[in-house]
Amino acid sequence: MPPKEAYDWLRAHHVETSLLESMASLLHWDQSTMMPAGGHRHRSDQFAALAKLVHERRSNPQVGEALAACGGHWDEREPTGVQAANVREWKRAFDRVTKIPTDLAVALARAASDGETAWKRTRPENDWEGFRPYLDELIRLRREEAEAVGYAGEPYDALLDEYEAGETTAALEPMFQDLRSEITDLLGRIKGSARRPDPSILDNDYPIAAQKAFCRQVAETLGYDFSAGRIDATAHPFSTRIGPGDVRITTRYNERNLSEALFGVIHEAGHAMYSQGLSTEHFGTPSGASVSLGVHESQSRLWENLVGHSAGFWRHFLPLAREFFPCLRGVGEIDFLFAVNEVNPSLIRVEADEVTYNLHVMLRFELELALLRGQLNTADLPGAWNEKMHEFLGISPPDFALGVMQDVHWSAGLIGYFPTYSLGNLYAAQLFEAASSELGETDALFEQGDFSPLLDWLRVNIHAWGSRLPPRELVRQATGREPDSGALVRGLNKKYGELYGV
């Protein structure tokens, strides 16, 4: 087959596979927002049928033949072009999927499903020993997967690579160590400060209908396109790209707390604006797909933290918030900003503030590494968790449910996933710093309610690229610097230095 013909076949094949996957996304959205409980069993059958089709298509030997026929044809012509990137990424995905024996893939899927079910049952009972055998099995299988896939450095790299292409333990460890020592230092100064915010000023009545209207207006002003999206309520907020022109977000509402829904919406809108900025023309190919979990998270965290928690943002939105929520009329701007930016070491990662959040991620990263390296076994995992919690944050969980069992990830075998949360924060800070140096004083823009220059910058430098460049290269190209922890550390020191006077 000539290269051009092989490429066209691959493109059509992958677009159709992506259409099937987008059907699963729609089913998943429906399951989380609309589906009656009685539909559960049938929905599982639907997912299984689609997953089987998708797996067959992704591992189809014809894909391998067509990739071989493409050879280096596109690389020689235009190494950084759309076709070259698509072939490179199709090959990467095909290599991974075909290196994992079918038996192992089936065993992993079953162990993940069993593990999650077991976690849901054992966590409320604080039953670590009841959960542990499931985790042991998942670690065993994922080690097997790492050996099957192969790695240059160590087994953990093979797992990491699934979520963040090209990322390695050797690159992450020094980056995270720098970050940890800087954050620990900042946290120490904050703890020693006499200044304290008063978060009780936020605890008040926020009618759900008003929250919905306010959140919608905020998302729209930031640039989330409602003609290609919608917001619904769910227990666990998420964003999902059904396809071009249809990127949905969900949130949850708490009548006593505005932050939960609002910052959740801003976070998910950040993910969704990335998805809305992906190329429609290249849908179904890597050039029209998001590049990695870390880059995806950089988009959500940039809007949530660097925009949504900034002084300029609240200078614009607090007067509007006071119209929606009379309880905020007596709350001053400086007190409000300090309260929403309170730093307080806490047990639960997903509730952590901007300063301590990365310490939660690094704790999991270090434990996962030790588990994969065989330096730690699950019998000693809760003890190791508590020790690190004490070392990093100075607090200790009262039980397993609020400690080692708090996140769903390990129960589904998602090992190597957590580092992408911190990479997201590092990338967000570096991108924001680069955008700010081009756009001028961002706080002044935000104060005017003008968020489009920032969104446009992200569209051009990140969104439009899809997966044409590997994650680190994309960030390097957008910012002109090798990714590191510098921008995040500078940003945190400046912001919290001012707030806490340290």
Q: Which residues bind Zn ion (CB under 5 A)?
A: 300
Structure tokens at 402: 């609020």
Residue closest to Zn ion, measured at CB: 300
> What gap in Å lies between CA 174 and CA 251, rounded to an integer?
35
Residues 429/367/165/71 CA torsion (nearest 10 deg): 160
State which residue, 186 or 429, has the beta carbon closest to Zn ion.
Answer: 429
User: Which residues, 6 or more positions from 498, have their beta carbon under 8 angstroms from its beta carbon?
Assistant: none
> What gap in Å lies between CA 149 and CA 100, rounded to an integer?
7
Residue 268 appears among annotated catalytic residues: yes
Burial of 326 (0-12, 13-18, 19+ CB in 10 A): exposed
**Alpha carbon 186 to its chain's center:** 25
For the bound state, the minimum distance from the C-beta of residue 76 to Zn ion, rounded and expressed in Å, comes to: 38
Which of 277, 301, 329 has the alpha carbon at shortest distance from 432? Answer: 301
Cβ atoms 16, 53 nearer than 8 A: no
State which residue, 74 or 417, has the beta carbon closest to Zn ion.
Answer: 417
For the bound state, the minimum distance from the C-beta of residue 267 to Zn ion, rounded and expressed in Å, comes to: 6
- The pair phi, psi for residue 147, each rounded to 5°, is -65, -40
State which residue, 300 or 411, has the beta carbon closest to Zn ion.
Answer: 300
Answer positive or negative: Cα dihedral of 358, 359, 360, 365: positive
Q: Which amino acid is at 179?
A: L
For the bound state, the minimum distance from the C-beta of residue 265 to Zn ion, rounded and expressed in Å, comes to: 12
State which residue, 145 or 297, has the beta carbon closest to Zn ion.
Answer: 297
Cβ atoms 473, 427 nearer than 8 A: no
Q: Which amino acid is at 123?
A: R
Strand 246-251 to 231-233 pairing: parallel
Burial of 72 (0-12, 13-18, 19+ CB in 10 A): exposed
- Count of C-beta atoms within a 10 Å radius of residue 457: 18
Answer positive or negative: Cα dihedral of 209, 213, 214, 218: positive
Of these residues, 167, 182, 268, 368, which one is catalytic?
Answer: 268
Strand 239-243 to 246-251 pairing: antiparallel
Give the DSSP letter string of 41-104: HHHHHHHHHHHHHHHHHHT-HHHHHHHHHHTTHHHHH-TTSHHHHHHHHHHHHHHHHHHS-HHH
The residues annotated with a catalytic role in the active site are 268
